[in-house]
Homo-oligomer: A and B are copies of this chain.
Amino acid sequence: MPKVTVHRKAHFNAAHRLYKKEWSDKKNFEVFGKCSNPNYHGHNYELIVSVTGNIDQETGFVMDLAILRRLIKVEIEEVFDHKNLNIEVAAFKNLNPTAENISVTIYNKLREKIRQDLDLSIKLYETPRNFVTYSGE
């Protein structure tokens, strides 16, 4: 029974700033540079969700990508797209929205909705030159 990974690409546009509440603006600027701009900046995030499992003999699918597409739409795009991550997304009320933390947050949200015998992995492009991957380890 071959084990294959299926990947689905999605995207969302959002504003954010990197900063730590407990730190002064000066300290935040030292650590996060222009990414700590209090007026926010933003990105076109490109997201690749990867699901690994055995091919179903009936359908030839690991997982129906139309279902995965809708899951990403409801759980991620509708929550993150055209939002200010710091202000409007609950997960980042007390969590710095670095690409690393966003990828873990996306993983955790999708992990609950995908069958446990399937492995899950997240790739998140903040820009075409800066991106992260997370597999739940």
Interface residues of chain A, those whose CB is within 8 Å of chain B, are 2-11, 13-16, 18, 20, 31-35, 37, 39-44, 50, 55, 58-62, 64-66, 81-84, 87-88, 95-101, 103-104, 127-134, 136-137
Residue contact A128 to B6, C-beta cutoff 8 Å: no
Q: Which one of B18, B44, B50, B134 contacts A60 once the chains associate, using CB atoms below 8 Å?
A: B18
- Select from chain B the residue with minimum beta-carbon distance to A136: B2
Q: How far is the CA of A66 from the CA of B130 in the complex (A)?
A: 10
Q: How far is the CA of A14 from the CA of B41 in the complex (A)?
A: 4
- Select from chain B the residue with minimum beta-carbon distance to A107: B2
Residue contact A96 to B60, C-beta cutoff 8 Å: yes
Which residues of the other chain, B, contact A35 by a CB distance below 8 angstroms? 82
